[in-house]
Structure 1
Amino acid sequence: MHLKSEYQNKLVLAEEAVQVIESGDWIDYGFGLTGPYELDKALARRKDELFNVNIRNTLGLWPHFSIDSDPTGEHFTLNTWHFSSAAREFYSKGLAYYIPMKFNELPMLTRNDCIPARVFMASVSPMDNHGFFSFGVGAAGNMASIENAEYVILEVNENIPRVLGGNQENIHISQVNFVVEGPNPELLTLPATEPSETDKKIAQNIIHKLYDGCCIQLGIGGIPSAVGNLVAQSDLKDLGVHTEMYVDAYIKMTKAGKITGLRKSIDKYKQVFSFALGSQELYEFIDDNPGVAAYSVDYTNNPYIISQIDDFVSINACIEVDLFGQVSSETVGTRHISGTGGQVDFVEGAYRSKNGQSFICMPSTYKTSNQVTSRIKPILAHGTVVTGTRSATHMIVTEYGIANMKGKSTWERAEALINISHPSFRDELIKEASAMKIWRKSNKIK
């Protein structure tokens, strides 16, 4: 069948497409910016007809019309692999639940372990001349869901860039049951994060550890932004990119001529990522750009793949660390904040890379209700989920320096961590470490 004819034959209104959904169904939504918009609106309008419909997504960035329509949770329940701000709000109301995972395993979990979603719905770029729609801003695990689904429904959004890729970043019209032409909502943009003075100090500690030819993975927030600023102003050259999330810091480094990918061991010259989130400039930059490549997350976050890239540098953030070197990046006590994400993947992969370095960053303190609290604690708060085990943690960074955990005994770890804690808390941390039998008289404080 001619591609345009096939497209027209599958083109329906959103209200018609969601009629295939039945009570008790599981529905998978596209990752991040590839989540459905008009389709979710149409699903919300069917609320009174449906019961116990489970929606499963990862980092849902569009409005959740269906969950908003059902404050009782009788009709729709959100199950998510990674909390967004909206998911946190639903969680507090008992309408959303977290699915633990290591990000690199998302496609495998979807294919082998989850209840298969009967319906998959996602937003995509317009179809190209070859019959393909792009998932490139959210290629992480969509194809795994599609392989299990009975119905695949796509919502075309002209604002979604067509991103080239390495695998599973697009879908062909022949794999689709219905196409909906939505209202083309503008993509969510993240305002530029202005690094704080503390962020800049942390970034300065890291920049001294970088050298020509490093391959960099950055997370989101002020610290990665500060690192990007410093790299752009530095004499570094021939840096590479292999990351889960593509952020604006990479554009800044690229425009400064710092990123070439010349020395990458694999995917040479390509900036590799699994999903993108940032400014409108970022979306325009990755659109039809052969210098970037979107891959499924079982490639970008696979520790085995990461370990094959020499001189790999992973830079991520956390909430708090205890004196044993355990890292929490997803909860505050039992209050859920985000998710494991890819932090564990990159910590493990970077350390196994030849000359690899993994940095977990945080300001030494945080302030709530006019009270300053140390992020380095004797033990993690009651109920806190451990994201990075003490045996996996490589380097912890604050504005006061870097603490290398590898090969260190418990008393050496305590010494290193207390030395990068805020000076106001060091005496109390030493007292606690002594009570925990992880402090020696020979320990030194700078």
Structure 2
Amino acid sequence: MELDRSKFVTPEVAAERAVRSGDWVDYGFGGGYPELMDRALAARKGRLTDVKIRGGLVIRPRIEVVECDPEQISFHYYSWHLGDYERKLQARGLVQFLPMILRSLPCLYRDRHIRCDAAFVPVSLPDDQGYCGLGISNYAWRTIFQSARTVVFEINERLPRLQGVDGSHRVHLSEADYIVEGEHEPLPLRTYRDPSPTDLRIAQLVAQEIPDGAVLSLGVGSVPFAVASMLADSDIKDLGCHTGTISDAFLRLFQKGKLTNSRKEVDRGYATWNLAMGSQELYDWLDREPGLFRPSDVDYVHSPERIGQMSNVISINGGVELDLMGQENAESAGARQLSGIGGQLDFLEGAFRSKGGKGFICLNSTHQKKDGTLKSNIVPCIPAGSVVSAPRTMIQYMATEYGVVNLTGLSLLERAQAMASIAHPSFREELLRYAGEHFGTR
């Protein structure tokens, strides 16, 4: 189709026209990343002041606007969710964290609680009608760029080209103010360490709780991946996918014939997701078989109401520590931010609403301190300064290598006793003593 060719400009021209001093610029979330625009904006260091960039869960090796300006003369970087690389930047004082629940993010832009002056949106190669896919990061892009003053589409030739069911994952070139092209680096890959014997024991306990036809939401980390591997090698049938991030765990289930999506009451026959993060093989799968997927934005994927319309939703996430009331810290070590809450609360609530659904928080019962001693990850109370990511009213199932407990409907004393029962044996007496002193009958 005929397009306005004047919209096609170099990244340098787009950066010059789109960004002014004092602006807020959105880079997006996850593996989709506007690397050409990032480089072009970084080249304007010294000619701009107080430009604030939002991103999150970045797994690339560099963010040029940050690395080129450690004195923060021109640029300040903010993250919704710290990835591995952003944690390193945080240690250097180069990133500021923005707390949020992922499902609420579109409302912040739509209702103008926050502003976006320039949106740098990575898109796939267009088809002959001018439609592009949103690659591996649907995020909340449509809501964001509809609220933005200036929209730049960065065509990345390496992104999967799927556009989703009924256009759930597509945009049109006419929606951009500027369009940039160029050669890109290979897509960033996300790998995870091999599961430890403790991780495998937790995964085994959780896998036993998953029925045929379950709809899986898997967080990142070794335990969810181990659960998927066990299910792939089991006799289970007809699993579904409705998840924030689709990963190689789902690819393995598909390869073993376990992921059919045939029993889902919502998006039957499709794997539903918002982000994709994993190996090149995963990205090739998305590109090769687009008819298997319904990628969509966070308003759709993370809606607890929609998740609750499906039966047997199983949400599996990790945590840092839990206390005897069931409060969970999933994202900090004291006041030091480690990651973010992301969609964990969305899927915990969705699993609560689901008939037969179960929301699991999985963690090793202990971790080893620098001096070699063990510290319990089940604690009497979340220590001062640490984050309470999920309230006690939202935690349903808790799993360690010592067992699985369901906290639903239990009193404070009963919850504490249940938590202590799956703590490391060396800490159970101390935890039960605290429970008796603080939650016992008066």
RMSD, matched Cα: 1.6
- 1:420 is matched with 422
Is the 2:153–2:173 contact (alpha carbons within 8 Å) kept by the matching residues of 1? no
Correspondence for 1:10 among 4, 7, 32: 7
Give runs of aligned pairs for residues 325-404 of structure 1, distance below 5 A: 325-369=326-370, 370-404=372-406
Partner of 2:87: 88
Which letter maps to 2:46? D
Q: 3-state SS of the aligned residue for 2:311?
A: coil
1:76 aligned to 2:56?
A: no
Once residues 337 and 345 of structure 2 are traced to their aligned partners in structure 1, the CA distance between those partners, rounded to angstroms, is 18
* Matching residue within 18, 25, 28 for 2:26: 28
Distance in 2 between residues matched to 1:48 and 1:188, nearest whole Å? 29
C-alpha distance in structure 2 between counterparts of 1:357 and 1:396, whole Å: 10
Q: Within 1, Cα distance between the matches of 2:169 and 2:113? A: 22
1:200-349 counterparts in 2 under 5 A?
200-287=200-287, 288-349=289-350
Q: CA deviation at 1:419?
A: 0.6
CA contact (8 A) 1:90 1:96 kept: yes
Query: Which amino acid in the other structure matches residue 53 of structure 1?
Result: V
SS at structure 2 position matched to 1:290: helix
Q: Does the 8 Å contact 2:99/2:340 carry over to 1?
A: yes
Does residue 177 of structure 1 match 2:174? no
Q: Is the 8 A contact 1:360 1:397 kept in 2?
A: yes
Contact 1:314–1:350 (Cα < 8 Å) also in 2: yes
TM-score by length of 1: 0.95
- CA shift at 1:439, angstroms? 4.5
Deviation by residue 1:268-315 (Cα, 9 ceiling, x = unmatched) = 010000000001110001115201111101111110000001111111
Q: Residues 192, 377 of structure 1: CA spacing in aligned structure 2 closer, same or farther, 3 A cutoff? A: closer
CA contact (8 A) 1:157 1:185 kept: no
CA contact (8 A) 2:199 2:364 kept: yes
Aligned amino acid, residue 292 of structure 1: F
Note if contact 1:33-1:123 (Cα within 8 Å) is conserved in structure 2: no
Q: Quote the offset at 1:65 in angstroms.
A: 0.4
Superposition deviation, residue 22 in structure 1: 0.8
Q: Which amino acid aligns with 2:213?
A: G
Q: How does 1:130-145 map to 2 (within 5 A)?
A: 130-145=129-144
% identical equivalent positions: 37
Q: CA deviation at 1:143?
A: 0.8
| 1:48 aligned counterpart, secondary structure | coil
The answer to whether 1:409 aligns with 2:391 is no
Select the residue among 25, 35, 38 that pairs with 1:37.
Answer: 35
The offset of 1:115, in angstroms, is 2.8
The answer to whether the 8 Å contact 2:274/2:295 transfers is: yes
Q: Tell me the distance in 1 between the aligned counterparts of 2:340 and 2:414.
A: 29
Q: 1:188 is matched with which residue?
A: 188
**TM-score after normalising by structure 2:** 0.95
Going from structure 1 to structure 2, the CA distance change for 1:58 and 1:113 (only over 3 Å counts) comes to farther
- Secondary structure of 2:46's aligned partner: helix
Which of structure 1's runs of 4+ aligned residues deviate more than 3 A? none
Provide the rounded CA distance (Å) in 1 between the counterparts of 2:313 and 2:31.
Answer: 28
1 CA distance for matches of 2:373 and 2:45? 45
Q: SS state of the match for residue 22, structure 1?
A: coil
1:331 alignment partner AA: S
What letter is aligned with 2:209? K
Letter in structure 2 aligned against 1:265: E
Q: Which segment drifts farther, 240-249 or 57-66?
A: 57-66
3-state SS in 2 of match to 1:145: helix
Alignment partners' CA distance in 2, 1:68 and 1:160: 25
Gaps of 5+ in 1: 442-446
Unpaired runs of 5+ residues, structure 2, are none
Query: Equivalent residue for 2:109?
Result: 110
In 1: Cα distance, 2:112 partner to 2:428 partner: 46
